[in-house]
Structure 1
């Protein structure tokens, strides 16, 4: 037990009890959260797992503490317009494996003169186990760019 003054309050000759309910510890057990410090995190990857809209108790899904490496790939769609985003996502995940955390379309543009459509996708590379070197991501990104041009007949930008 700690018998220390209450600090600059001027109450030096009194003793009291301080206790907590331990709600964080209870939540750690309930949601399988491995580290109490996550409760003070403002990381959206942690916060979005516990939105109040879903009343069901779901276990915590771990996320990487290593920094992301974002790369964009932009291209003009084929003249015939045949392009399915999900096919592109599958190709990227097949090529990069577990290093791909997410793929999002960040821009879609129709050229006013040629009427061609351009899309830009941001690929977020991140490993759960280790930092991913820029050189490694650059090699994967080169293969992704070559494959998207070859398989989907797009024109890279």
Structure 2
């Protein structure tokens, strides 16, 4: 999807709107996993982001800790963004973890753009205290050219 979409742009009219959009921007190539604490008054939650290299470019995994879940994740890179959709009805409570997410593909070299921003569209979820069973290994993605990706891979 083009530009710099926000959670309100990609998740309009959700029955239980997200509590906040949590953004991580700039320098998204840590040597080790980074843990970011959600802003007040939601400081009882955090997200751990692990950015790694792949043959196609940077990919990241995330795990949300505490009574929260993601309804969506936006991975921005280049002039576009990928939206990973974890909203109802497919995921009634959102999710607590996922892996192999990435920015859109750069058509000039068929690799992923570098990550410039990651947004998490977060909701309170009383079921997300144990993330072990909450990883969906990918989600439906809307890419910059409208093509669908299933489970984080080209469909």
- TM-score when scaled to structure 1? 0.28
Select the structure that is richer in helix: 1
Work out which structure has the larger RCO, using CA pairs closer than 8 Å and 6 or more positions apart in sequence.
2
In our comparison, the structure showing a higher alpha carbon Rg is 1
